[in-house]
Structure 1
Amino acid sequence: MHDPLNVPFRHRPQFAVEILRDRLGLGLPDGLPVQLVGNELNDRPSIDLYPDTVITVGPQHAPLHAIIVEIQQREESSKQQALPRYAAALWLQLACPVTVLVICPTARTAIWAAKPIDTSLSGYTLTCQVIGPDHIPIVTDPAEAAACPELAAMSVMAHGEHAPVLEAFVAALGRLPGEHAPQYYEYAYRLASQASDTFWRRSWSPPPGRYTAPSLGSTTARASKPVARQVAKRGARKVVERAVRRVRHGRC
């Protein structure tokens, strides 16, 4: 899921500004150019640093604000050192305010990422701006999904176990310019598979009335869960495939 979630920000950097301004209430300058820049940072004499995506707001050679977008799928203690270093290195490089935007597929990771990060540098505490499932709307209207396919893709990430979310997203692709739609089909497949996998891990239980659940740790339980998880993934992909066929036949 890591790579698909980075692509919307790299494809349309303005999306990061919209997320921070409209979803998190961060005051950012409006009406200025927004562009993707190289993500190679350095705070000599250390090794090079590579955050996921770096975006600047304002003139490219004299930006007024910089945004680091980081996709965080799980809690990682190493990131509590890396994220403050990313922000400090970019601040030194560009001499402008820096915001770290963390995208989290799960609520638990979002809560963890939102905690202030204290550093050994006196007075320097980094608080990231965090987008988790609770910040992402359930997009089931194809017109709304077409108006902002990046947000619709994130809705698939957070709520893709719901078939109407997938169907609205894929239906919206039929309304996009031809050169943009193909990459979003790949988002739908990959994000839907991941969403179904996450949902399965959270809520796995045997179908009622079919059989008695095997005891935890038994060979049957260990064998059943991976098989059922693959069934859930295939089911998510079939939802996307059905929605694609509906789009192609003009029924959405």
Structure 2
Amino acid sequence: MPIANHYMSNVVLITGGSSGIGKAIAEYLVEKGFKVYGTSRSPEKYSSSCSFPLLAMDVGDKQSITEAVNEIIKREGSIDVVVNNAGVGITGPIEETPDEEIEKAFNTNLYGPIKVIKTVLPHMRKQRGGKIINITSIAGYMGLPYRGIYSATKAALEITTEAFRMEIRQFGIQMTNIAPGDFATNIAAGRYHSPVLEESPYKEEYGSTLAMMNEHVDKGENPRHMAEAVYRIIKNKNVRIHYKEGAFLQKFSILLKRILPDKMYERMLLNHYKLK
């Protein structure tokens, strides 16, 4: 099905397309007739299991972003939709999380998408349009215990998008966020976990919270729901600023944060994670 904008030829770039939510989005859009390009830092590991081309890209490396974008432009002549999906998970007490891991999380989850956007914008301006969809997280709407750095990276991307979309609307380019809750993917296996140290004052609370977080991901929703949500956004002529996708209670928690007093909301989170 063609995208509504007059110039578009249905070319979609999805960062982090080799597994999880990114792969689910890519496969669904291929079914719908889009020309999809995914990216991975090691595309040779995953190409045989994907129904779409995988290009090499590290969102922390500006040169690799430029090369991948130029390759798509060379093959297709345009990039109509960008889905900034590449990201890393990170857990741990902030005090005990290594500085280099904190920097790595921000480099991938915030600075990476910004680099990708800055690389595609000149091409979209020439086309006089395009759509950029940033995958954030419901965790970005609140500071979650032992996920504080992850929450911070996603919150920063949400706010950056709010400003960015106002700057680029003059060029006919639309940008939005979609914040997923817990989906059944391999993110838990791939994210950085600060080790649960025997001598750590956080040992008991962090250990139990980590087990709960992993259980939530294992019991998460089907990633295809995210793919369907992205498809609806692509089809929509006028996208909203924020979208949320996930279990009702996870989305409802955002509303509660808006209406409850701060300390009452904090107590609710403490009770949820069974923290003192």
Q: TM-score range by the shorter chain?
A: 0.3 to 0.5
Please give the TM-score of this superposition, normalised by the length of structure 1: 0.34
Larger of the two Rg values belongs to structure: 1
Higher relative contact order (CA 8 A, sep 6+): 2
